[in-house]
Structure 1
Amino acid sequence: MTAPDFDPAATLRGPRLTVRELVAGDLDALHAAASDPETWAGHPARDRHRREVFEPFFRTLLALGGAVAVEDRAAGRIVGASRFYVPPDRPEAIAIGFTFLDRAYWGGAANFELKSLMLAHAFAWFDEVWFHIAPGNIRSQKATGKLGAVHAHDARLDLAGQPADWQCFRLTPEAWRAAAARRPSEDVRPS
């Protein structure tokens, strides 16, 4: 990481979620959160719910570093993952990506809480956060826009071992605060 004090493995606690370093022993629990085919329906890796496809993805997350597990404290289980990483074309910045949540946690407060925790941590050290989204992943593009991020450019980048085309979204602290202020208050628990 470019900011010497930034710790991508810091434990972050919110009202419902804990975000902590992803470790090898999390494979089974994380795959359980990823095993619904609908989770990946709009994603380029549509078959990632299958164990034989998920395991290499999990190993890649561990090898690249900066990956975090997302835990629902009340349920006592892992419900997703994400990752902090340095964008190859913006080495002075930080990016958040590789994020997914168990589908039971969509549409409620969980994704907002996850992003709030990660963004607060990132903005303590960085003036901008980047998101890289596959051109066909419309759901993630819309969700990233709701955070206040704007599509800045397209680029061919190697984020996980092979170059691919990405839409690059930039988020500033000011845009994030404005988007968060517009968000209706929610206290929705996943079903």
Structure 2
Amino acid sequence: MDRQPVLEGERLLLRPLRPDDWQALFAVASDPKVWELHPANDRWKKDVFRAYFDDALAQGGALAVIDKLDGAMIGSSRLQGFDPADGGSVEIGWTFLARSHWGGAFNREMKRLMLAHALQYVGRVDFRVGENNLRSRRAMEKIGGRLSGRDGGVIQTASGPARHVVYEITRDSFASGPLSL
């Protein structure tokens, strides 16, 4: 599975994240409101975001999200943890969008593009979401994510430990769900 494809929709272009995307992506990420409900709510700080950005490049699978209307960088997401065993799975996550693009249409399109790509190769896509990140949890439910019951683990953040839950979308549920084509 290509974890860094070029995907194009009506409004968005998703392409592999590059080192020279730093300035444009940090301009989006430096808004504290973007991270307000996120477990890593200090990610708007330059040094914290630099570590996040460098990790995204090192892990592979990171995608830059571009608004096709004006060519502006509006966020990022990742395809990580590809596991081809038992029908295969991959995780979509580490997603954030500029506040100007909140409200559903852009996130829905981004996730639809990523899911359509991933589900050609795997039977299940997982999404780890901070247990208390109600904005992201509502967004997952709107796109057809189902709580899996699997433990999402605990991640240490600047504000303390943050428990995560795991949502999933399967090939079958995607074909009949709210993001189906």
TM-score, structure 2 as length reference: 0.86
Does residue 102 of structure 1 match 2:89?
no
- Of residues 63, 81, 86 in structure 1, which corresponds to 2:81? 86
Cross-structure match for 1:50? 45
Q: Secondary structure at the match of 1:8?
A: coil
Matched-pair contact (CA < 8 Å) for 1:148–1:178: no
Amino acid at match of 1:171: I
Q: Gaps (5+ residues) in structure 1?
A: 1-5, 183-191
Q: Root-mean-square deviation (CA), in Å?
A: 2.2
Q: Secondary structure at the match of 1:180?
A: coil
Cross-structure match for 2:4? 9
Does residue 175 of structure 1 match 2:173?
yes
Matched-pair contact (CA < 8 Å) for 1:95–1:130: yes
Matched-pair contact (CA < 8 Å) for 2:130–2:165: yes
Amino acid at match of 1:167: V
Q: Secondary structure at the match of 1:167?
A: strand
Q: Secondary structure at the match of 1:86?
A: strand
> What is the rounded CA distance, in whole Å, between the counterparts of 1:55 and 1:84 in structure 2?
19
Q: Secondary structure at the match of 1:99?
A: strand
- Of residues 111, 127, 130 in structure 2, which corresponds to 1:115? 111
Matched-pair contact (CA < 8 Å) for 1:123–1:173: yes
Deviation at 1:84, TM superposition (A): 0.3
Deviation at 1:87, TM superposition (A): 6.1
Deviation at 1:73, TM superposition (A): 1.7
Deviation at 1:181, TM superposition (A): 6.2
1:123-142 → structure 2 map (5 Å cutoff): 123-142=119-138
Amino acid at match of 1:174: D
Where is the strand percentage greater, Structure 1 or Structure 2? 2
Compare 114-123 and 48-57 and name the one that shifted more.
Answer: 48-57
Deviation at 1:30, TM superposition (A): 0.4
Q: 1:181 to 1:54 in 2, by over 3 A?
A: closer
Amino acid at match of 1:132: R
Deviation at 1:155, TM superposition (A): 3.5
Deviation at 1:81, TM superposition (A): 0.3
Q: Gaps (5+ residues) in structure 2?
A: 156-160
Residues matched between the structures, number: 172
Q: 1:49 to 1:11 in 2, by over 3 A?
A: same
Matched-pair contact (CA < 8 Å) for 1:87–1:130: no
> What is the rounded CA distance, in whole Å, between the counterparts of 1:49 and 1:165 in structure 2?
21
- Of residues 144, 147, 153 in structure 1, which corresponds to 2:143? 147
Q: Secondary structure at the match of 1:110?
A: helix
Amino acid at match of 1:101: L
TM-score, structure 1 as length reference: 0.82
> What is the rounded CA distance, in whole Å, between the counterparts of 2:131 and 2:104 in structure 1?
25
Deviation at 1:136, TM superposition (A): 1.7
Amino acid at match of 1:169: Y
| 1:82-119 deviation digits (Å, cap 9, x = unpaired) | 0001268x783111000000011000411111011101
